[in-house]
Each structure stands twice: as C-alpha cells, then as structure tokens.
A = this chain, B = another copy of it.
Amino acid sequence: MEYQINGERLLQNLFTMAQFGQNEGGGIDRSLGSKADYDTREWIKSYWQDHLKVEPETDAIANLWAKHSGTEHRKPLVIGSHHDAVPDGGKYDGAMGVLIATEVLETIVEQGILLKHPLYAISFTGEEPNPYNLSTLGSKVISGRLRKEDLFSVHNRETGESLEDTIKRLGGDISSLENARIQPGELAGFLEVHNELGRHLEAQGLHLSGVSTITGIYREEIQVYGENNHAGTTMMPDRKDAFLALSDLAVGLNEIVGAYEDPDVVGTMGYVKVSPNEANIVPGSAVGIIDIRTCERKTISEIVKKLDDLTEKTEKGRRVKIKRQVLLDQPARIMDEDIINIVKENLAKLKEPENVMVSMAGHDASNMQLLTKAGMIFTRSVGGKGHCKEEFTEDADVIKAGQLALETILRMDEELP
C-alpha cells in the first residue's frame, strides 16, 4: 500500500467516543437530542478542527460536515455514518463509520495526498429509531425524503420537546431546511463503513464485505377485532379470542418466511398489544406489527398473498375480524456497481475474500443512493450482536476496514467522474 491509515489512532478515537453516553452497564445511551448526542458533536467538531484543518459545518438538520478541497473542479465525494445510538447500544454502530471517515480524511491531510474531488466527511443526525419516530433523519432530509412541513409538528414522545427546538439545540435550523437538501447529481459518490449487526459474515468465516443491496422493508399493522368475554363463564366454542387470532398470524408468518431457503428473507412480529389485557377476560382486541425484509419485490408479494389466505382462514377459525394496514413499503436499494467493484478489488488487495452481501438493516447509505453512486463496507459483528452493548468488531477488523475505506476513496477519486 502506498498510503496507510493510523490504526492505533483510529482505535483510540473509537475508545474516546465510546465515553459519551456510556452507562453503568457499559452500554451507550446516545439518542437524538440527548446530552450525549450534544457532547459527541462538540468532540467531533473540535477533533475535526484540530486534526483535519477545516472549519466544521452544521447544516439545517444538524448533520456535521468536514469539507476538504480537491485539486480539480469536481463534485464532492462523501464518506461517513452517524454518531447516535439506540438505547443501551454498542460502541461500533455508527461511531466506527464516522471515525473511519475521520481517519481517512486525517490520513489524506497528514500525508498530503492530493485528491481531484473535494472529500467531505459527514456525521448524520438521528439515524437510529428515536423518540421522534424518525430514523435516518439526517439522510432523509438531505435526500428530500422528509421536508420542512413533515417536521414542524414532530415532538419527542418522552420529553415533549419539539424537533425544531431539539435541532436548534444541536446547531441546526428547521425553518431553513431547504438549505440542507442536496439534489441528485450534485455529489460524485458516497461511502459508508458500518458493522454488519448480523451473523452472516461470522457464519461464513469472513471479516469484511462489500454490500450489494440494502434490503426492502415492508411493515403492516394487524388489528384483530374479537369480543371481550368473561374467562370463566364463556364456553370455549362461544369465544372470539383476538389474541389467539394474532398468535396464529405470528406463528404463520414465521412458518411462511422460514420456508424460504434464501437466508435474506426474514419476518417478525415484534410489537404486540392485547386489550383489555386482564387475566380473567378473553381478549376482545389485539394489535400486532409485522416487519418483513427481502431484496426481492416478488417475495414480498408472495408472502403478503400467503398472509391474505392465512388471515381469511384465521377470521373463520377464530370468529374474529382482521384489518391490515401497510405502514411501510420501502423498496430494496441497489448499491452502485462501480463502487462494489472497487471494494471487491481492494478486498483482494488486502488479501480478503471478495465478498459482497445484502444489508438486512436500513442505513443512511440507502437514502444517499437516491442522490449519488453509493456504496457500503461491512465489518464482522462478533456473535452477530447488534443494537446492544455486547456489539463488537475486532480491533484488527476495524483497522482493516479503515484501510479498505482509504483505498476505496482513493480509487473512487481516480475513477468516478
């Protein structure tokens, strides 16, 4: 390799950032708008100012930017991820991608590498599920998926603070949100490094991978209408038990999805509410939310068709009415072929298998793909752990991912227009 990142420095920065919001049990509490979110931002801006020799910028939705100039009049390349975390989350999800972006830029500045394109590092605002019910907030705003009118009425469901006030505290300004918007074609390319959050790489004995596609996500709310009845006096054949019907659908979805050989087809009922929820009353109503993920449009349609049949059968068998409502139907997002090829060639250069995989989690890169050529690099999640304090990527993998990111940015600078 002609140029090398400073692996020790990268690990040290990862250690430092993990102090912000670390709770007694070792998990990270760094939700959008929290004090830890604010403190992390101050640290990032100060680090960028001191080490990247740039004046950090905060856009209207409070994404943080470090903008390094190129030698030619080109569109910018962007590299980054997010610094917020799920409650009691891990040290790698988001933070590692921001710090690898930082390390790539620091290496370039330090070693005087000349890039044709400007190179921007970004740390996105509010990528994780949060009390504002808005995930990948920063990338949704710059890609135009969320606009000013969508955000003015949003409040934190726990504290009641308006999103407008939260964003103001973080240095943004929702009233001038249009200034944060980037139009398709304004960027030359985007790269995000992230831990996998799943067990696919470990299961295959791999440490690093490119990403071919970010999964499609389909969500439905299922509402079952039965009848509240006395749990003693109501004979079994007379019951209209809404919870049994919901159970049938949960178990049925699991069977339907489990029948696919493709491991990248998954389905979950993660949210359940039963009413009146008393031990001595047959449940009269029940609500569940199902989440189905696959890259194949056709597979979603097949699963929904099977759920339609199951719903009809359940309505008859359990003597209930079932209403289903689509909450989300987000198509799979295909990563850029040029970037995938560059990542694969760089994997080979680093003596790693040229693996490319599907991301079963959503990421900011999914929104950035709407604007520009976007790519991702995944690191192994030990034990497949993600969104928990046990989340871990080995030091050697973090450093190798940093080097892979540097090589990939240098090739993107060479090859992308």
Select from chain B the residue with minimum beta-carbon distance to A195: B233
A interface: dominant SS? mixed
Residue-wise interface mask of A (327-344) relative to B, using a CB-CB cutoff of 8 A (1 in contact, 0 not): 100000000000000000
Residues of B within 8 A of A362 (CB): 232
Residues of B within 8 A of A197 (CB): 230, 232-233
A291 CA to B257 CA, complexed, in Å: 32
Residue-wise interface mask of A (97-133) relative to B, using a CB-CB cutoff of 8 A (1 in contact, 0 not): 0000000000000000000000000000000010000
CB-based contact B270/A360 at 8 Å: no
Residues of B within 8 A of A273 (CB): 277
A356 at interface (Cβ–Cβ under 8 A)?
Answer: no
A1 at interface (Cβ–Cβ under 8 A)?
Answer: no
Residues of B within 8 A of A410 (CB): none
A78 CA to B269 CA, complexed, in Å: 53
Question: In chain A, residues 226-280, which have Cβ atoms closer than 8 Å to a Cβ of chain B?
Answer: 228-238, 241, 243-244, 246-248, 250-251, 254, 257-258, 263, 265-274, 277-280
> Most chain-B Cβ atoms within 10 A of its Cβ — which of A244, A263, A266?
A266
CB-based contact B360/A233 at 8 Å: yes
Residues of B within 8 A of A266 (CB): 231-232, 234-236
Task: List 6 extra interface pairs beyond A236-B267, A271-B277, A272-B283, CB under 8 A.
Answer: A129-B278, A198-B235, A231-B266, A232-B291, A273-B277, A280-B291
